[in-house]
Amino acid sequence: MTCLPGVYGDFCNLPCSCSDGGDACSEVEANCGHGCAVPWTGIACDEDNGAGKIILTYVRVNPGQAANVTCTVIRNPLVAQSDLVLSPIGTELTAHEDARSYKQTKVVGITLEADTEVTCSVRDTELMETILLMPYVLPVYADASGMLTLSDVTSTSITVSWPAWNHESDTGDGPIIDYRIQYRRDRNDREFHGS
């Protein structure tokens, strides 16, 4: 069965919006040979994207570290990389364009000392998204007297234990789930090694 332009599938009942109106979808996969009509996006050109959409995410980090902030704009017509604006300006890590999916992505590193508001926008449009980046609040035990216990110390091993996290009295983003041990092979060794 051959489907008319604008539909695809076994029964020609699934919509697709290819560019130029007369560009038919492929029968099974709905791929449009010349892309989607504006403002449609998606594999089958069946997602009305309107003015576009911004997806803004980040990876939470400790204070003083750089958080990777990812801004992806999905819009037909495709946004130019130079029109994708992040504020405050961070260190650009990567930039990626996926023309088939109408996605433009930029990843920047922003050093966090405190909560920081980041905005991703498209130049000369009203398309904008804002996110609040919050670094972890380092965990602190209310009772620091018995915090860390070292036992069974040998030349090749050590046992480290600590009290259970008390959600009512301890503060910060707990619980503490592990400690990373670093050691020197001997007193003259200047380099620390990880466990």
Domains of the chain (ranges; CATH) run 1-48 (no CATH), 53-133 (2.60.40.10), 137-195 (no CATH)
Q: What is the mean pLDDT of residues 29-38?
A: 78
Phi, psi for 67 (deg, rounded to 5): -90, 135
Give dist(CA 37, CA 154) in Å, integer.
Answer: 70
Cα–Cα nearest to 136, from 64, 65, 69, 61: 61
Which pLDDT band, with edges at 50, 70 and 90, does 22 fall under? low
pTM check: above 0.75: no
Share of the chain above pLDDT 90, in %: 45
Give dist(CA 1, CA 28) in Å, integer.
Answer: 11
pLDDT at 44: 80
Give dist(CA 38, CA 47) in Å, integer.
Answer: 11
Cα–Cα nearest to 64, from 23, 114, 106: 114
